[in-house]
Amino acid sequence: MSRSVNKMTEMTIREALSWASSFLQEHGRESRVAVLLLEHYTGLEGSALFLEDDRNLSLEEKECFTKAVTTHAETGEPYQHITGLAPFYGRYFRVTPDVLIPRQETEELMDLIRGEAQPGERVADIGTGSGVLAVTLALETEAEVLATDISTEALSIARKNAESLGADVRFYEGSFLEPLKEEPVDILVSNPPYIAWEEKAGLDETVKNYDPSLALFADNDGLHAYEMLGEGLKRRSHKPRVVAFEIGHTQGEAVTRILQEAVTRV
């Protein structure tokens, strides 16, 4: 922590943001994290934070905020891990190092499925992680939602998120589609691991050092998870009417081929 901050017995929101933004930039971090952390510790979000920027932080707010900023700046630990919460689709979800921190891009996948899901249909989220897709679908649609994950730890977090947010989701532990056996599924959605191991060295340290490898990386140029999902679809007598995956920006052609083979074969 910088000496000037240690010496300050009082600190306004404006002063806290000014110090944190500079400190983060000096360490090569995004200055916007200062706002996100200050929103968390003060409980003031959006314009409310700036409307009260002359308010002094309490001693507890100041200590928690400066410690969090320093930790993120000096180690790269994601702010979501520091606070234990991550925003997704207008809600906050519990996250730990056992689950992937939800990205804004995944909200686009959520938009797509939300528009497709009909009342009473069955939606399956494969590799649910923290449960952001499954829980949000259960809350935003009238569909029946199932979710699977191979990680016991991830499922524990997903169940806690479902409980705290009041979402009715049936969770299954196991690999890809296997836990669902022959249960019919109308819509299949997944944000599986799709980064090739060869790309790990080029990733930001806040990703490769803190997100679980199980949720990030896949063999065969990042296509292994899609291949496993495709194999699972081939064996199912009841094919989903909609299949939607999050994919890497260069994987569109390959994933399309995998899915075409999966749904045209019995």
Domains of the chain from N-terminus onward:
3-75 (no CATH), 100-264 (3.40.50.150)
Say if residue 81's pLDDT is above 80: yes
Say if residue 3's pLDDT is above 50: no
Average pLDDT, the chain: 94
The whole-number average pLDDT for the span 142-170 is 98
Say if residue 60's pLDDT is above 60: yes
The whole-number average pLDDT for the span 94-103 is 96
Buried b (16+ CB within 10 A) or exposed e, 230-239: bebbeebeeb
Task: State the pTM of this model.
Answer: 0.91
Residue 266, pLDDT score? 44
The whole-number average pLDDT for the span 81-98 is 96
User: Longest C-alpha distance within the chain, in Å?
Assistant: 71
* Percent share of the chain, pLDDT over 90: 89
The whole-number average pLDDT for the span 32-39 is 96
